């Protein structure tokens, strides 16, 4: 079973990487670009065969390691 975790900064948290991307896009001639936020996607292969158990396991992974829950949100997708 595969899990996909999308981690993004919470609203209001400064995103210097996103700001650098926005600035670089402007320098490359892409006008009209507003706010840019940068996140990450983590894909995990799991031995679990039950979707509910897999989701619970990945939730625990996110809480302990994959996301900094103070400044980041995450979404889990099980496939």
All structural domains of the chain: 2-78 (3.30.1280.10)
DSSP H helices, the chain, are 16-27, 51-61
Residues facing 4 on adjacent strands: 43, 77
Mean pLDDT over 61-77 rounds to 98
With tokens 């099980």, the residue in question is: 78
Question: Among residues 18, 78, 20, 30, which one has the least CA distance to residue 54?
Answer: 78
Q: How confident is the model at residue 19 (pLDDT cuts 50, 70, 90)?
A: very high
Distance of CA 44 to the CA centre of its chain: 13
Query: What average pLDDT does range 35-43 have in this prediction?
Result: 98
- pLDDT at site 54: 97
Question: Is the overall model pTM greater than 0.85, yes or no?
Answer: yes
């Amino acid at each position: 079973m595969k899990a996909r975790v999308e981690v993004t900064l919470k609203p209001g948290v400064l995103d210097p990487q996103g700001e650098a991307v926005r600035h670089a896009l402007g320098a490359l001639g892409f006008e009209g670009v507003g706010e840019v936020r940068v996140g990450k996607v983590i894909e995990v292969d799991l031995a679990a065969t039950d979707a509910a158990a897999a989701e619970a396991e990945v939730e625990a992974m996110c809480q302990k390691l994959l996301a900094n829950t103070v400044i980041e949100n995450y979404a889990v997708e099980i496939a």
